[in-house]
Amino acid sequence: ELDPAVAEVVDQASGTEEEIATSTRSLESALSKCQSKFGRCTFINVPRQSEEEQRFMKMFSTGKAL
């Protein structure tokens, strides 16, 4: 059974069944790794080239929240 966080992202996906299946496996793997390291993780949709994306990229690269 899909994790609800993954299911929500997959529900909004577009593409062939094969592309969606590949993406689903990648998302499940990422979520699993994140949860084993941090306990609780979720996906958020950040528009590309936005101020939010720049903030997140900086936060992930430095490990510090802004």
pLDDT of residue 18: 92
Q: Kindly calculate the radius of gyration of the chain based on its CA atoms and give it in whole angstroms.
A: 14
First to last CA, the chain: 36
pLDDT of residue 47: 76
Residue 66 pLDDT > 70, yes or no?
Answer: no
pTM above 0.75, yes or no: no
10 CB-near residues (< 8 Å, 6+ apart): 2, 20, 23, 24, 27
pLDDT of residue 65: 66
Indicate the number of domains in the chain: 1
Domain ranges, residue 44: 4-62
Give 14-62 pLDDT, tens digit per residue.
Answer: 889 999 899 889 989 988 998 899 888 877 777 778 888 888 888 888 8
